[in-house]
Amino acid sequence: MQDAAIRLRARGLKFQSIGPIDLEVAAGRCLAVSGPSGAGKSLTLKMLADLVPHEGDCFVDGVAAGSMSGPGWRRLVRYVSSEPGWWAASVAQHFADANGQAENMRRLSLDASLLEAAPERLSTGERQRMAFLRAIEDRPKVLLLDEPTSALDPVSVHALEEIVREMMQAGCAVVLTSHDPEQVERLAHTVMQLESRR
């Protein structure tokens, strides 16, 4: 892989018993992180997002995470959890321009009225889809998807995967964890296997 094509690079990532981990993901490609429960799949994504203290460093387009603020890094590298956090009174307050997501909301079978609802009033699947839209709103360079469709029906899974493919076509690098081997086969170009750390 030529350096010019590499969007995300990690070297020596280590947190507690997880790692050290080295990885590279090119622009427009998807890397799936696989392994048994407890192997550190979610923690690997959190290290890439700089959400937990860790050894090693990450780079986007050659720029190190350590050279910028945490919020600055997370504007480039967006992490989507299967259990996303919400902090404002309404869903809309979590978006810079909630109305700008109207088309993607339609594609994901989300009613526009949900924007004015309190996050706790949404179903688990609705919150999961909204969290995904929140993450892609400003077109990050790297998307970290941690079980992004675990609570979704097949129609919504298909729609969300289509948006992920469009993001990759636009140059976004994706790192995915999924318990669905068929989803990994559909989206991932390469798979990194983590061994159990227990």
Q: Is residue 80, in this structure, part of any structural domain at all?
A: yes
Q: What is the pLDDT of residue 64?
A: 93
Tokens, residue 26: 């090119």
Q: What is the pLDDT of residue 4?
A: 45
Domain that holds residue 56: 3-193
Q: What is the pLDDT of residue 198?
A: 56
Give the domain CATH number at 48: 3.40.50.300
For the chain, how many structural domains are there in total? Answer: 1
Q: Is residue 198, in this structure, part of any structural domain at all?
A: no
Q: What is the pLDDT of residue 19?
A: 84
Contacts 24+ apart (CB under 8 A), 150-153: 150/82, 150/179, 151/82, 151/123, 151/124, 151/125, 152/125, 152/128, 153/125
DSSP string of 109-165?
T--GGGGGS-GGGS-HHHHHHHHHHHHHTT--SEEEEESTTTT--HHHHHHHHHHHH
One-letter amino acid of 117: A
Q: What is the pLDDT of residue 2?
A: 43
Q: Is residue 143, in this structure, part of any structural domain at all?
A: yes
Q: Is residue 59, in this structure, part of any structural domain at all?
A: yes
pTM tops 0.85, yes or no: yes
Q: Is residue 181, in this structure, part of any structural domain at all?
A: yes
Which pLDDT tens digits describe the chain residue by residue (198 residues)? 444 489 999 999 999 888 899 999 999 999 999 988 888 999 999 999 999 889 999 999 999 999 999 889 989 999 999 887 888 999 999 999 988 889 999 999 999 999 999 999 999 999 999 999 999 999 999 999 999 999 999 999 999 999 999 999 999 999 999 999 999 999 999 999 998 765
CA distance 20 to 65: 17
